[in-house]
């Protein structure tokens, strides 16, 4: 029998059950509605209609039909930086290029496979995603939470839903924010013609990102970003939506250095060449331990593979907003 998959609703606004399932499972809405009609879905322990409006904190359980035996999670000898670990959870500083959990094209070379190889006990979680409380894109680096017990996983999921886990990112983005801070409140959904992309759509799921300018350079801003929801590609889509895409983003980069005109174009091209991937990093994770209730905070410096892009963007003069912003800049690039 297939292992039920559990999802906690994190959005602060109502959303139809079939749309929520389609987004979580990367299904079409028709496929999601069929699961509901076949009584394979419960909300808070009870069956529900596809049109059921979900609210934050609802727990959706899905039992998928068994079309094939579940894949065995194979160990993979991939080095990991573990910044904290106890019997309940671990905090991983994920390198860029590492997929978080098994999926088509990456069944045996993911963070989960690396955790299995090091003998880390993992919570049940969704099938193929044991221990995964939240995700980072493959080419986004930085701090991630991993649950080692079902109790910790359940409590961390509720904490995410209640916005009690603080996640702060650093990014290099083209151009300059009009205001700092800037609040980006724009609903996100799967792109209507490309299922691998996300887009701002009126009927999408509620999503909010707050952005601060840490330092303003000639062609780009160094940004501090805080998530208030956890949608797929959220920061990348939101920044592109307001006209300031993440430097090095091959999907939402909107033309990259070609956006810059005049003499500054040469600087922009140099920065772009120096960015081997999207310049986005999960820099801070702060939360109360789900079992011991001890306050925990972890920081990860601006990654080495993006340092040259930051140096080239900064050039010889840096316009920094308040004193606190300088502290953030030094934190992200202490060797610079």
Q: Pick 319 or 58 by higher pLDDT.
A: 58
Residue 324 has pLDDT above 50, yes or no: no
221-236 average pLDDT score: 92
Which of these is catalytic: 23, 137, 139, 221? Answer: 137
Q: What pLDDT is recorded for position 286?
A: 96
Residue 325 has pLDDT above 50, yes or no: no
Q: What pLDDT is recorded for position 70?
A: 54
Residue 173 has pLDDT above 60, yes or no: yes
Please state the three-class secondary structure of the chain as a single string: CCCCEEEECCCCCCEEHHHHHHHHHCCCHHHHHHHHHCCCEEECCEECCCCCEECCCCEEEECCCCCCCCCCCCCCCCCCEEEEECCCEEEEEECCCCCCCCECCECCCCHHHHHHHCCCCCCCCCCCCCCECCCCCCCCEEEEEEECCHHHHHHHHHHHHCCCCEEEEEEEEECCCCCCCEEEECCEEECCCCCCCEEECCCCECCEEEEEEEEECCCEEEEEEEECCCCCCHHHHHHHHCCCCECCCCCCCCCHHHHCCCCHHHHHHHHHHHCCCCCEEEEEEEEECCCCCCEEEEECCCCHHHHHHHHHHHCCCCEECCHHHHHHHHHHCCCC
Q: What pLDDT is recorded for position 66?
A: 66
137 belongs to the catalytic site: yes
> Any idea which of 8-12, 21-25, 155-159, 292-296 has the lowest mean pLDDT?
8-12
Which distant-in-sequence residues (6+ apart) come within 8 Å of 183 by Cβ? 208, 209, 210, 211
Proportion of the chain above pLDDT 70, given as a percent? 88
Q: What pLDDT is recorded for position 320?
A: 44
Which one of 152-161, 217-226, 260-269 scores highest in mean pLDDT? 217-226
Q: Pick 84 or 65 by higher pLDDT.
A: 84
Residue 319 has pLDDT above 50, yes or no: no
Please state, as a whole number, how many other Cβ atoms lie within 10 Å of the Cβ of residue 250.
9
CA dist., res. 247 & res. 271, Å (int): 8
pLDDT digit string, tens, across residues 185-212: 999 988 888 878 899 998 888 899 999 9
């Amino acid at each position: 029998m297939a292992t039920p998959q559990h999802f906690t609703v994190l959005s602060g606004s109502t959303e139809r059950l079939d749309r929520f399932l389609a987004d979580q499972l990367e299904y079409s809405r028709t496929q999601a509605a069929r699961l509901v009609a076949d009584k394979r879905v419960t909300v808070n322990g009870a069956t529900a209609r596809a049109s059921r409006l979900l609210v934050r904190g609802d727990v959706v359980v899905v039992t998928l039909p068994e079309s094939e035996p579940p894949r065995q999670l194979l160990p993979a000898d991939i080095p990991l930086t573990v910044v904290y670990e106890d019997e309940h959870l671990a905090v991983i500083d994920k390198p860029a290029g590492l997929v978080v959990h098994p999926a088509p094209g990456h069944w045996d070379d993911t963070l989960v496979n690396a955790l299995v190889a090091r003998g880390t006990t993992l919570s049940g979680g969704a099938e193929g995603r044991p221990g995964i409380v939240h995700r980072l894109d493959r080419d986004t680096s930085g701090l991630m939470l991993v649950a080692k017990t079902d109790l910790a996983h359940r409590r961390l999921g509720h904490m995410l839903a209640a916005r009690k886990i603080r996640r702060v990112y650093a990014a290099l983005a083209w151009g300059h924010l009009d205001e700092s801070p800037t609040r980006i409140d724009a609903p996100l959904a799967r792109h209507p013609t490309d299922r691998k992309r996300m887009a701002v759509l009126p009927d999408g799921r509620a999503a909010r990102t707050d952005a601060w300018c840490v330092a303003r350079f000639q062609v780009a801003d160094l940004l501090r970003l805080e998530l208030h929801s956890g949608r797929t590609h959220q920061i990348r889509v939101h920044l592109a939506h307001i006209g300031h895409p993440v430097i090095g983003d091959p999907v939402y980069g909107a033309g990259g250095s070609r956006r810059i005109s005049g003499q500054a174009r040469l600087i922009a091209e140099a920065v772009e060449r120096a960015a081997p991937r999207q310049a986005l990093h999960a820099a801070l994770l702060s939360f109360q331990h789900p079992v011991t209730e001890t306050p925990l905070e972890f920081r990860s410096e601006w990654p080495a593979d993006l340092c040259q892009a930051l140096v080239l963007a900064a050039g010889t003069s840096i316009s920094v907003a308040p004193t606190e912003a300088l502290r953030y800049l030094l934190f992200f690039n202490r060797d610079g």
